[in-house]
Amino acid sequence: MHALLLAVVIAQATPTAVPALGVSTTAVNLNPAQQQIVAVTGATPPLQLTLDRKLVVVSAASDGTSLTIAATQATGTDVLHVTDATGATADIAVRVAFNAGTIVPQTTLTITGDPAQPDWLAQEVTDWVTRLTQAMPGAQITIGAVSLPPAPLGPGGTAQFTVPIQIAGNGQYFDQSGSTTVTVQNTPLQPFLPGLLFYDDDPEHVSQDGVLFRGTVSLAAPARLYYYHDDLADPRRLVVALRSSSQDPTSVQLIEATAGPNIDVMQVGQSVSKRFLLTKNQHEGIVLDLSSDEPYLMTDLPMTARQLVAGTADLRVLSGGPIDVTVLTVSPGVDPRALLDGPVLPGDGHHRTGAFSIAGFGSESLSYSAGGPDATTVIGDTDPTPPNVTPSADGRDYGDYGVLHTIDLTLANPSAVAATAYMFLQPLAGPARGTFLIDGNVVDIGCVRVPSRYQITAFALQPGQTSHAVLQTMTDGGSFYPVRLGVTATAPVPSAPPVNAPDGCFPKPQASPDQ
C-alpha cells in the first residue's frame, strides 16, 4: 500500500520532457533572389529572429513550425539566431552566392566522318562540352577525361559519352559538380572540295584589336579559310566567328584544324597542315545550326608576344545561309561580338590576303617509268598561283598557302628486274618543311634548306608492274616555297639534317681557321 502511494507521488513529481528547439538544417546556401523553408521542431511560439548582418529577409510561421529565408541580390554570409518564447535558441549559418557555373546535363553533337576516328571524336566531345559549360568570372572549369571509343564511328552511327565536370568557385561562388551526357550522331554527307579560298595573313603581326578578315560563304559556294597570325606585344586572342546572314535556319558543316600558340612558326605551320590533311581525308567535321542573333565562335586561341597561331577550315552551308566568316584579334576580357561589325584593320603591305579561286587548282598527275627520266613538278610558285576573285585587288597567294595539292602518281616498271622509285622534295627558295599524305599515311619532312633532294618515300616496283598512288600536301606556314616534288631512280638524301648542321635550316656561324 505504501509502495503504491510512493510510486504515484514520484510520477507526479517528475516533469514531462519538453522537446528541444530544433531546425531541419543549420546551414542554408542560397542564390540571389532564392528562398528556402526551414522546418522548426520543439519551439514555443512566437519565434524571435535576428540576423548579424541583415543579409537576407526572414519570417516565421505563426505556429512556430517553419522559417522562410529569402535572399535579395546581395551576396555574402550571415548568421540567423532563432529564439522561442521559452528562451530556447538555434543558429542557422546563411550564405548567399552565385553558382560557379552551369553544367548542361545532356546535349547532342552532330558530326561527319568516313569514319570518325576515336581520338578525333574524343577531342571533339571534349571541345563541345567545354564550349557548353559556362563559368562565372574567376571560376575554374575542369573537364574530365573522355574515354576513347573502342572503334571508329561510321556514317549513320551513334555513340554516347558521359563527361564529368567540376567548376570551382574559389571561395567566391558555390562549387558545381556534375556531368554532361553527349549523344554523338554521325550524319552521312558526301565529301566536298571548296572552290573558294579565304587567305588571311595580313597583317601577319597583329598589334591591335579589330577585324583581320571578313568573307561570306553561300549555299552554292563552299569555302576554305586559312589564317596565320602572330602577336606583336600585348596578350591577345585570335577569334574566328561564324554568323548567319539570313533569318532562315542555317546549317553548316565545318572541317577544321588549328595549331599554336607557339613561338616556333614553322612547327605551327607543319602541325596545322598535318592535322588538316588527316581530318579532311577522313571527312571529319561537325554540323552546326547558326542564327543571325548569336555568332558562333568557331575558334578562340590565346597568344602572347611573338607566339603564332594558324588554322585551316573548310565550310559548307547545308541549308539557309549565307554565313559571314570573321577573323578578329581581341584583347583578354573583350567580347569579340562587340567588334564583329568594325572595319578591317590595315595590312602590312605584303598583300597576303583575299578571296581566291581554287576550283581545280592544285590537282595534277605525274607518270614515272623505271629506266626513264625523272618525273617532277613545282608547287607554290608565283606562276601559276590561285587567281584573286577580284582581279583588281592587290591580294595574292604566292606559295599556295591554304591550297590542297593532290598528285595522282602512275608508277611503271617495264623492265624484267625489280626497281625502286623514290619520291623526293627539293627546296628552291630557302628553309622549308613538308607534310604529305600518301594513300592515307602521313609523312613529315623536317626543315631543309639547301636545294638537295630529300626522300619522302620509296616505292618497290616489281618487273612489269604498274601501280598508282595518291599524294596530298599543303604548304606549311612559315616555310619558303616553291619546292620541287618528283620521282627518281636515284636515292635521295634519306632525312633532313639537324637544324644547326652546316646544311641545316639554321646553321651556326663557323669559327674562322685563325681563331
- With cut-offs at 50, 70 and 90, classify the pLDDT of residue 355: very high
Judge whether residue 390 has pLDDT over 80: yes
Judge whether residue 5 has pLDDT over 70: no
User: Residues 6 or more apart from 368 whose CB is under 8 A from it?
Assistant: 374, 375, 409, 410, 411, 412, 421, 487
Residue by residue, DSSP assigns 30-79 as E-TT-EEEEEEES--SSPEEEESS--EEEEE-TTSSEEEEEE-S--EEEE
Could you say which of 96, 122, 142 is where a domain stops?
A: 96
Exposure pattern of 479-503 as b/e (b: 16+ CB <10 Å)?
Answer: bbbbbbbbbbeeebbeebbebeeee
> How many domains is the chain built from?
4
Tens digit of pLDDT for each residue in 445-455? 999 999 999 99
Asked whether residue 348 falls in the same domain as residue 374, the answer is no
Domain harbouring 155, CATH code:
2.60.40
Judge whether residue 219 has pLDDT over 90: yes
Tens digit of pLDDT for each residue in 90-103? 999 999 999 999 99
In a domain, 442, yes or no: yes
Asked whether residue 235 falls in the same domain as residue 319, the answer is yes
Tens digit of pLDDT for each residue in 315-331? 999 999 899 999 999 99
CA distances 438 to 12, 93, 443, Å, are 101, 67, 8
Domain harbouring 48, CATH code:
2.60.40.1080
CA nearest to 367, candidates 438, 484, 466: 466
User: Residues 6 or more apart from 181 whose CB is under 8 A from it?
Assistant: 105, 106, 107, 160, 161, 162, 163
Tens digit of pLDDT for each residue in 225-252? 999 999 999 999 999 999 998 888 899 9
Asked if 295 contacts 241 with a C-beta cutoff of 8 angstroms, the reply is: yes
Structure confidence at residue 203 (pLDDT): 95
Q: How far apart are the first and last CA of the chain?
A: 128
Could you say which of 132, 151, 186 is where a domain stops?
A: 186
Structure confidence at residue 514 (pLDDT): 54
Structure confidence at residue 185 (pLDDT): 98
Asked whether residue 204 falls in the same domain as residue 346, the answer is yes
In a domain, 501, yes or no: no
Domain span at residue 41 reads 22-96
Domain harbouring 445, CATH code:
2.60.120
Q: Which of 8-22, 50-64, 93-107, 114-128 has the lowest mean pLDDT?
A: 8-22
Judge whether residue 436 has pLDDT over 60: yes
Q: What percent of the chain has pLDDT over 70?
A: 95
Asked whether residue 174 falls in the same domain as residue 285, the answer is no
Asked whether residue 350 falls in the same domain as residue 205, the answer is yes
Structure confidence at residue 9 (pLDDT): 40
In a domain, 498, yes or no: no
Structure confidence at residue 216 (pLDDT): 97
Alpha helix segments (H runs only) across 426-477: none
Judge whether residue 1 has pLDDT over 80: no
Asked whether residue 304 falls in the same domain as residue 393, the answer is no
Structure confidence at residue 190 (pLDDT): 97
Asked whether residue 369 falls in the same domain as residue 258, the answer is no
Asked whether residue 230 falls in the same domain as residue 346, the answer is yes
In a domain, 31, yes or no: yes
Type of residue numbered 41: T
In a domain, 11, yes or no: no
Judge whether residue 283 has pLDDT over 60: yes
Asked whether residue 219 falls in the same domain as residue 270, the answer is yes
Asked whether residue 230 falls in the same domain as residue 321, the answer is yes
In a domain, 367, yes or no: yes
Judge whether residue 155 has pLDDT over 70: yes
Asked if 444 contacts 270 with a C-beta cutoff of 8 angstroms, the reply is: yes
Judge whether residue 10 has pLDDT over 50: no
Tens digit of pLDDT for each residue in 499-515? 999 999 999 876 655 54
Mean pLDDT on 465-489: 96
Could you say which of 305, 322, 357 is where a domain stops?
A: 357
Type of residue numbered 160: Q
Mean pLDDT of the chain: 94
- Calpha distance 340→328 (Å, rounded): 8
Asked whether residue 81 falls in the same domain as residue 124, the answer is no
In a domain, 179, yes or no: yes
Asked whether residue 348 falls in the same domain as residue 205, the answer is yes
Structure confidence at residue 248 (pLDDT): 86
In a domain, 59, yes or no: yes
